[in-house]
Amino acid sequence: MIDLKVITSKIQSIDRDPWMKKELAIGFDVGGTHIRGAIVSHDGCVLERFRRQTPTGGHPDLLIPILVDCTTVFRKQYDVLSGIGIGAPGPLRAGEGIVSHMPNLEGWRDFALQDTLSRETGLPVVLINDADAGAIGEHLAGAARDCPLFAYLTLGTGLGSAIVSRGKVWTGSRGFSNEWGHIPVFPDSGVCSCGHPGHAEAFLSTRFILNEYGLEAMGGSPAGISSPVTVSDVFDRDRTGDKVAAGIIDRYGSALGRLIATIAIALDVDWFILGGGISASCDRLMPLIMEAIRWWGFPPLTDGLTIRRGALGDDAGLIGAASLVMHRKIRDSSS
Ligand SMILES: [Zn+2]
């Protein structure tokens, strides 16, 4: 487990010094579509941002140089940096700094990301699951500051998930816990990004939205990543009365509600924080989520759930990852 109580207390007690006097670290987030980075201060403020498209395929040989170049640029501006915290899609062996597999990127099987990036930059590096990083960010500085127990779901290229309980991120015995996107209880879904049928992520991904829209509205050809239609376009078309877009979003929202009911029943969690790009459309999704919870739920555990959009947007994972490297002793002693 990653204990956040010490980090929280430091953030709350920190003096509002000029940022030049504060401890700083880099936070990175490696995603299926973009690589993002930021300089984050000790008290959770983002000072600089970096964003670049993930190279086609996302192979480490293409991606590592981008991270190194970004670090070099940041170091020219901020000469005292504690290190790099990097969030990556699971599953990964965070304690060993190894990415086991990235379903949406090529060439990452058992890749030693932490050691490789540390060697290339000369800085300490801490690797963390990207959803865990987002949960830490929201707990320290965002929508979950007052939540002792909550689930964090990232709605994007895939579905990331994390559980924070009593100030600790639950990472499981090998660091693989909370891969809720791969829970196999959706028999009517297609094939998941991991290759198996019936997983939640087969519905809850940008791939689902684009592929379905391509099949149903664009002449039978899956839209896929290279399509000129984006997920944002699909939501825009829904707002202007596109029935195909509306049907796909309805299925997405219903599947999300069913997953939230499943997590609530399994773990007795009553707070859910939604992050990731699709969470920007929370208002559209919320009635679908609540209807699905009523339909699929188990009232003693699913009545009165609180579902809230994250407050930090794309910054949550960057803040969480950077905060962790600034307090790596906590992680090392508790994971
Ligand atoms: Zn899967």
Q: How far apart are CA 169 and CA 131, in angstroms?
A: 10
Which residue from 89, 87, 50 is spatially nearest to 72, judged by alpha carbons? 50
DSSP letter for 146, please: T
**How far is the centre of ligand 1, averaged over its atoms, from the C-alpha of 89 (Å)?**
13
Cβ contact 2:136 at 8 Å: yes
Cα Rg of the chain (Å, integer): 19
Q: Where in the chain is the domain with CATH 3.30.420.40?
A: 2-135+314-334, 147-309
Q: In one letter, which amino acid is 200? A: A
Residue bearing the bigger pLDDT, 16 or 263: 263
**How far is the centre of ligand 1, averaged over its atoms, from the C-alpha of 180 (Å)?**
9
**How far is the centre of ligand 1, averaged over its atoms, from the C-alpha of 134 (Å)?**
21
**How far is the centre of ligand 1, averaged over its atoms, from the C-alpha of 207 (Å)?**
13
Average of per-residue pLDDT values in the chain: 86
**How far is the centre of ligand 1, averaged over its atoms, from the C-alpha of 199 (Å)?**
5
- Classify domain 2-135+314-334 by CATH number: 3.30.420.40
Residue 17 above 60 pLDDT?
Answer: no
**How far is the centre of ligand 1, averaged over its atoms, from the C-alpha of 196 (Å)?**
6
**How far is the centre of ligand 1, averaged over its atoms, from the C-alpha of 258 (Å)?**
16
Cβ contact 7:321 at 8 Å: no
pLDDT of residue 20: 42
- 147-309, superfamily in CATH? ATPase, nucleotide binding domain (3.30.420.40)
**How far is the centre of ligand 1, averaged over its atoms, from the C-alpha of 158 (Å)?**
9
**How far is the centre of ligand 1, averaged over its atoms, from the C-alpha of 124 (Å)?**
32
**How far is the centre of ligand 1, averaged over its atoms, from the C-alpha of 57 (Å)?**
19
Q: Provide the percentage of residues in the chain whose pLDDT is more than 90.
A: 59
What residues does 87 pair with on adjacent strands?
Answer: 29, 128
Q: How far apart are CA 211 and CA 105, in angstroms?
A: 18
**How far is the centre of ligand 1, averaged over its atoms, from the C-alpha of 91 (Å)?**
11
Residue 9 above 80 pLDDT?
Answer: no
Which residue from 201, 127, 200, 128 is spatially nearest to 169, judged by alpha carbons? 128
End-to-end CA distance of the chain: 4
**How far is the centre of ligand 1, averaged over its atoms, from the C-alpha of 48 (Å)?**
34
Work out the widest C-alpha separation in the chain, in whole angstroms.
Answer: 59
pLDDT of residue 250: 97
Other beta carbons within 10 angstroms of residue 13's beta carbon come to: 8
* Phi, psi (rounded to 5 degrees) for 313: 55, -135
Counting Cα atoms < 13 Å in the Cβ hemisphere of 200 gives 25
**How far is the centre of ligand 1, averaged over its atoms, from the C-alpha of 210 (Å)?**
18
**How far is the centre of ligand 1, averaged over its atoms, from the C-alpha of 159 (Å)?**
10
Helix-helix angle 315-326:5-13, to 10 degrees: 100
**How far is the centre of ligand 1, averaged over its atoms, from the C-alpha of 202 (Å)?**
7
**How far is the centre of ligand 1, averaged over its atoms, from the C-alpha of 10 (Å)?**
38
**How far is the centre of ligand 1, averaged over its atoms, from the C-alpha of 148 (Å)?**
29
Tokens of 2: 């990653």
**How far is the centre of ligand 1, averaged over its atoms, from the C-alpha of 226 (Å)?**
22
What pLDDT digit, counting tens, does each position of 283-314 carry? 999 999 999 999 999 999 999 999 999 999 98
What pLDDT digit, counting tens, does each position of 76-126 carry? 988 789 999 999 987 788 888 999 888 678 888 999 999 999 999 999 999
What pLDDT digit, counting tens, does each position of 246-282 carry? 999 999 999 999 999 999 999 999 999 999 989 999 9
The DSSP code sequence of 178-206 is: --GGG-S--TTS-B-TTS-BT-GGGTSSH
What pLDDT digit, counting tens, does each position of 26-60 carry? 999 998 788 999 999 988 899 999 999 999 888 99
The DSSP code sequence of 96-136 is: GTEE---TTSSS-TTB-HHHHHHHHHSS-EEEEEHHHHHHH
pLDDT of residue 112: 95
**How far is the centre of ligand 1, averaged over its atoms, from the C-alpha of 103 (Å)?**
8
